[in-house]
Amino acid sequence: MVLTRARSISDHDGDEEFVNSTFASRYVRCPLPKWRMPEQSVPKEAAYQIINDELMLDGTARLNLASFVTTWMEPECDKLIMASINKNYVDMDEYPVTTEIQNRCVNMIANLFNAPVGDSEAAVGVGTIGSSEAIMLAGLAFKRKWQQKMKAQGKPYDKPNIVTGANVQVCWEKFARYFEVELKEVKLREGYYVMDPEKAVELVDENTICVAAILGSTLTGEFENVKLLNELLTKKNKETGWDTPIHVDAASGGFIAPFLYPELDWDFRLPLVKSINVSGHKYGLVYAGVGWVVWRSKEDLPDELIFHINYLGSDQPTFTLNFSKGSSQIIAQYYQFIRLGFEGYKNIMENCTANAKFLKEGIEKTGRFEILSKDIGVPLVAFSLKDSSKYTVFNISDSLKKFRWIVPAYTMPADAQHIAVLRVVIREDFSRSLAERLISDIGAVLKELDAITAQIVSSTTAHVSVIGGSLVKKSEREIQEDVTKHWKCFVNEKKTGVC
């Protein structure tokens, strides 16, 4: 129990009172302020204890199977993070070692993605808050390059567009809306939940600033066929005289493919791939708050987007959407690179893939689900109910929360929005024993929902209706409609977001 000898003034009579225990003090008798800053201070022990207690009601991060974001790191890295948590990364003159560490990370990532740089040549890239900022920066570079080209040709440059699949993460929609770029989406279809390269190239026109391919779809973890996209787009560029480039959103798959599928052509080995983003805080194995974007060459990043400042002590080039940011996550990324090396990352990704396969097999054995995710891709399991007439994936998602699992349920984008899916992301800290427990809990949830449904169907009101004063037995279809109506009261228009 937290103890303190802090003094405080009574709200009623001004008498002094000694606070011997946080839980016996007046600080726990009132709710925490929600609208206005409190007038007076409270002891640090009380502030800590009260806030910490409220945070206990949050979900358990490691049981959050909705998120790709890292939830565990080694204690040694935690120490490095805390030691650098007060460093502002943007102050490069004051923290030159941190700046050098970021540059080392950029070089290592560029090399991992087969960028055409020499052994002693610095790669072009930057650390970001996450892939969202990285995508904004890459998109701006494409837009500016396209505008420069159109101006030089004396053509209109006010209606740029970008081609993606409907399965892209919401940050692409944000980029398009924030920076006034038309978003052309290739619609999905049942059984095919990634961008079709042929349809994508059909949408390309003279105003297309780039085609965005996804290495690791948020919905199913599948890798899009970047090699085929490069071939088709090369052919169209040759026929039209355009030079439409490719950006690869490797937020989830960028730290998976090089270790598990080195023969897969998706990166800078393909000539039209001009930039790649990756999330350090996903399978880069760092806590939330770091992403990366790298360019093929200096020519692919317009100089006019780079700002030079000197009011922090020296000339410092910068290309970010924000200014100040912490150094901790960049240092943590470097720790993982030198701590694990290629071998360590490969072992972790192989383990994640093996656990995903085990979970997939366990789910298949129930006989109740169809697996939508692929064996090659991000280690996750996406699955839908074969029969949703009695209950839905949203009911299963809700019921799993009783076991403390956070498993998202969501509907697919257009034109496959009639497909509802559950998704389990396998991260480094998801062990085989946890996979076994999840399979067991899914089985328990299915039995519980089956029992509830059976009780509804077997009730008198579910089997008969009154017509003209007489009892009439309901048809099988009418019973099914009644069951569906019952469940809709819990899941009407309910959707769980994915990240």
- Residue 194 included in any domain: yes
State the total domains in the chain.
2
How far, in Å, CA of 396 to CA of 438, rounded? 12
Do 50 and 107 sit in the same domain of this protein?
A: no
Cβ–Cβ under 8 Å, residues 260 and 221: no
Q: Which residues contact 486 (CB under 8 A, 6 or more apart)?
A: 456
- Residue 9: the pLDDT is 43
Do 160 and 281 sit in the same domain of this protein?
A: yes
Do 270 and 217 sit in the same domain of this protein?
A: yes
- Residue 471 included in any domain: no
- Residue 71 included in any domain: no
- Residue 49 included in any domain: yes
How far, in Å, CA of 139 to CA of 229, rounded? 18
3-state secondary structure of 343: helix
Do 124 and 207 sit in the same domain of this protein?
A: yes
Q: What is the pLDDT along the chain (499 residues), one digit of tens a residue?
A: 444 454 444 444 444 445 457 777 888 788 888 999 998 898 998 899 989 999 999 989 999 999 999 999 999 999 999 999 999 988 877 888 999 999 999 999 999 999 999 888 899 999 999 999 999 999 999 999 999 999 999 999 999 999 999 999 999 999 999 999 999 999 999 999 999 999 999 999 999 999 999 999 999 999 999 999 999 999 999 999 999 999 999 999 999 999 999 999 999 999 999 999 999 999 999 999 999 999 999 999 999 998 876 655 555 677 888 888 899 999 999 999 999 999 999 999 999 999 999 999 999 999 999 999 999 999 999 999 999 999 999 999 999 999 999 999 999 998 999 999 999 999 999 999 999 999 999 999 999 999 998 887 676 454 555 455 554 555 555 655 565 565 555 445 444 445 4
How far, in Å, CA of 36 to CA of 34, rounded? 6
Q: Which of 340, 367, 382 marks a domain boundary?
A: 340
- Residue 479: the pLDDT is 53
Q: Which of 319, 340, 361 marks a domain boundary?
A: 340
Do 142 and 16 sit in the same domain of this protein?
A: no
- Residue 255 included in any domain: yes
- Residue 429: the pLDDT is 96
Burial class for 406, CB neighbours closer than 10 Å (0-12, 13-18, 19+)? middle
Do 161 and 298 sit in the same domain of this protein?
A: yes
- Residue 399: the pLDDT is 97
The closest alpha carbon to 8, from 38, 31, 34, 35, belongs to: 38
The closest alpha carbon to 194, from 420, 385, 416, 379, belongs to: 416
- Residue 466: the pLDDT is 47
- Residue 29: the pLDDT is 81
Q: Which residues contact 46 (CB under 8 A, 6 or more apart)?
A: 2, 4, 6, 19, 22, 25, 27, 28
Expressed as residue numbers, the domain containing 218 is 77-340
- Residue 16: the pLDDT is 41
- Residue 15 included in any domain: yes
Do 14 and 101 sit in the same domain of this protein?
A: no
- What's 25's domain CATH number? 4.10.280.50
Q: What angle do CA 149, 152, 158 make, to 5 degrees?
A: 65
- Residue 277: the pLDDT is 98
Do 201 and 291 sit in the same domain of this protein?
A: yes
* Locus of tokens 């690791």: 216
3-state secondary structure of 254: coil
- How many residues in the chain? 499
Do 113 and 16 sit in the same domain of this protein?
A: no
- Residue 424 included in any domain: no
Do 313 and 265 sit in the same domain of this protein?
A: yes
Do 44 and 132 sit in the same domain of this protein?
A: no
How far, in Å, CA of 382 to CA of 200, rounded? 24
- What's 111's domain CATH number? 3.40.640.10
- Residue 315: the pLDDT is 57
- Residue 376: the pLDDT is 95
Do 166 and 279 sit in the same domain of this protein?
A: yes
- Residue 199 included in any domain: yes
